[in-house]
Amino acid sequence: MKRLLFAVAALFTLVALAGAVGLPDLAGAQDAAGESDTITVSGVGTVESVPNEAQMSFGVETQRPTAKAAVAANGDEMRQVLNALRQAGARELATQWVSVYPVSSSEDGRVTAYSASNSVTAVIDADDAAGLIDAATEAGANQVSGPGLSSSNTEELYRQALAKAVTEARERAQVLAKATGRSLGEISAVVEGTSSSPLPYMERAALDSASTPVVPGEQETSATVTVTFELR
């Protein structure tokens, strides 16, 4: 009887040691075997649009014998330009800079006058940009730059490009899966790539209603994604 009890105790000891050392994880092995393969592809989506906004810069530079006279005259001239911009439909008017500096003679370096400058930015519908330029210059603006053409719905255009990028990624993945005798499963991961600013795409007819032609050509907004699909 003592020998039997000793054998049973030894058996329990061996079982305990086996548990401490660790038996094969059959559940983990089954989970690993059940994992499906994946495929990762990139997709690019693009959307074309015609910009509907234009940002312009208008300035006035005035020279007078003294700095005080230059600033006073420049202020009067700039107010006329601002009024003309508002009447022409400009919005989001904002001062860019105001400066005053001496003008020296090229012969002896002597100060002969002072120059005062004032510049503002303005936003207007792209179709009205040409008329805005004409109105500003007629009012006395002698410094003009722009236009910076853009779309007011840039974010919506980018979302459309993202959707197209995912569609293209799926089409590429389907080709690769079919070539290897597999089929696509669910999407397991999506990584958004860097976005790109709208780029000029193609020109449309110039606006002939004003003396200054402005051509708001089409722009291309693009998006990139990297998508991982499960394979069946």
Number of domains in the chain: 2
Closest CA to 200 of 145, 128, 153, 151: 151
Kindly state whether residue 13 falls inside one of the protein's structural domains: no
User: Quick one: average pLDDT of 65-77?
Assistant: 97
Per residue in 101-124, pLDDT tens?
A: 999 988 888 999 999 999 999 999
Kindly state whether residue 27 falls inside one of the protein's structural domains: no
* pTM score: 0.61
66 phi, psi to nearest 5 deg = -125, 160
Kindly state whether residue 14 falls inside one of the protein's structural domains: no
Domain assignment of residue 97, given as a range: 53-150
Same domain? For 118 and 160 the reply is no
Q: Residue 31: which H helix or E strand, with range?
A: helix 26-34
CATH number at residue 200: 3.30.110.170
pLDDT of residue 10 exceeding 50, the answer is: no
d(CA 88, CA 132): 6
pLDDT of residue 26 exceeding 60, the answer is: no
| Cα dist from 186 to 57, 112, 183, whole Å | 51, 77, 10
User: Residue 76's pLDDT is what?
Assistant: 97
Same domain? For 60 and 115 the reply is yes
User: Residue 2's pLDDT is what?
Assistant: 47
User: Quick one: average pLDDT of 94-98?
Assistant: 94
Kindly state whether residue 17 falls inside one of the protein's structural domains: no
Same domain? For 131 and 180 the reply is no
Q: Considering Cα of 163, then 169, then 173, then 174, what sign does the dihedral take? A: positive
Same domain? For 135 and 59 the reply is yes
**Which residue among 117, 150, 183 closes a domain?**
150
Per residue in 45-61, pLDDT tens?
A: 999 888 899 999 999 99
